[in-house]
Amino acid sequence: MSTTYTFQLYNSASSLPLEWDALTTENIFLTRKYLEVLEKSSPANMLCHFIGIFKNDNLIGIALTQFIFAEKLESFGERDQCLKTSVRNFAFKNFASHVLFVGNNMLTGQNAFSIAENANQAKVIKTLHKAITELKKELRAKGKKVHITSIKDFTESEIEPLKSEFKNNFTFSTQPNMIFEINSNWKTEQDYIEALSKKYRDQYKRARKKAEGIEKQKMSLEDIIKYEDTIYDLYFHVAKNAPFNTFFLAKNHFRTFKEIMKEDFLFYGYFLDEKLIGFNTLIQNGAVMDTYFLGYDESIQRDKMLYLNMLYDMIAYSINHGFSEVVFARTALEIKSSVGAKPVKMYGLITHSNALINKNIGKLFDYLEPKTEWKERNPFK
């Protein structure tokens, strides 16, 4: 009997095949529940599609894509108001504003696809390639031409099988994923503090002293709904000051997340004089703790070292609850490094629909991707 590999495109989490979650044992970010969160509260300029890959009639691979049309954004990041930014924004709008991500642009790490253990990886990736081509055709038929296709966030070994299938793609490397490994001997936050060198123990003490008077509170769905406007303002303040943005969260995002993901989604509010001045969010992903979006009042953040305190709180929670690592993702690399996170280099593939631009995609990518200079720290003895 001959083996045929086929694919199916889905645009709603409710229409996914029943056996979908059987392939998501390692990753909460591909589960039907999480995809439902995305579908119900994705950014205004994002369309999600889901791909099922079948061997004969058996589901053996699943994938997530996000189509981002950036012309709906008011800002790609306000930090660098200068000619380079306006030129970059022009280039971005005209040549790179319609991007199809195979993977999840809201997270860091391999959240693009999952393949059954017994499947032929090369054949699944070939079928995935066909599915992406078909999806681009369907988007184009609806007047949405894809400029750039990007398959993102793989380690060096994970990217190899993709490179051999997607041949005309440029391999790029972006800012690293900051990963905090939890020493298996640590059982409490105190064990972590004792492992720090004197300089970084002093940093810890100073930060904790600065934060005196701030009340930290685990927030329920009702709390999140009650404070929704303030939460969004705090988030938006941080997001719009990032050097580069391709989306902004929907206002109902955190509420929807809590409604659907329940205890796998943790939301912590920080209060000063009974006023919400900051928050952070965590997602429990098996033995791994993923940090998610946060927000704060900048004037208080500086004075109270709020961001650094949030990092310590996330580490403490993860140690106390027996997690093996914390994914701190990109951005703020140096401060994350100062609490003990280590950079893991991430790779992706990128291709442009225009053959001439595609020849020079490496140069275009370097231009659009803001460079960050930072110094790695080692806070441990």
Query: At 271, which helix (H) or strand (E)?
Result: strand 265-272
* H-helix segments, 42-155: 83-95, 121-141
pLDDT in tens, the chain (381 residues): 678 999 999 999 999 999 999 999 889 999 999 999 999 999 999 999 999 999 999 999 999 999 998 766 655 455 455 556 676 666 666 666 799 999 999 999 999 999 999 999 999 999 999 999 999 999 999 999 999 999 999 999 999 999 999 998 999 998 899 999 999 999 999 999 999 999 999 999 999 999 999 999 999 999 999 999 999 999 999 998 877 678 899 999 999 999 999 999 999 999 999 999 999 999 999 999 999 999 999 999 999 999 999 999 999 999 999 999 999 998 899 999 999 999 999 999 999 999 988 998 888 777 767 677 899 999 999
Contact status, residue 257 vs residue 270, Cβ threshold 8 Å: no
* Distance, CA of 284 to CA of 293 (rounded, Å): 14
pLDDT at 326: 98
pLDDT at 365: 77
pLDDT at 75: 52
* H-helix segments, 64-181: 83-95, 121-141, 156-165
* H-helix segments, the chain: 32-41, 83-95, 121-141, 156-165, 189-195, 198-210, 221-226, 228-240, 253-261, 298-304, 306-320, 333-338, 355-359, 361-368
